[in-house]
Structure 1
């Protein structure tokens, strides 16, 4: 699913905070690309990659996403700071 992903993204994902073995899809967009890209994923038994119900959660606000992540992961969300979430959201406005 990371086929074609830029090296700078792959470098960020090489971190113990990310459980990349449990990822079911990956979208990316570079600053010089006008569209989102996705690597090819092949599932057995026509399974869903989860994008249709996971992605809508991150399109609202950074605050909403943080609350969603705390609830979904049953975690205090201390792995990524709210400031970093705000920074990522602002890069794609």
Structure 2
């Protein structure tokens, strides 16, 4: 289930232990973050295996996704031009 605006909520796993990352929201603007509770206990409290802010992660994923679409965008543009002009080139 998705709640909030984190881009990768429910989709990513911890690079250290492989568990699914949880999403949390903090601050006035409810900025997303990702964390892995892991399995380590210190003084009867869980220690995060990984804890990272989501704004920078989501921004990097968005940029990579758009960059991956660039070749398809160029192909679609050239195809549309050919169809509009009736060119076979």
TM-score (norm 2): 0.25
Q: Which protein has greater RCO, CA pairs closer than 8 Å, 6+ apart?
A: 1
**Bigger radius of gyration:** 2
| TM-score of the aligned structures, taking structure 1 as reference length | 0.24
Q: Which has the higher helix share?
A: 1
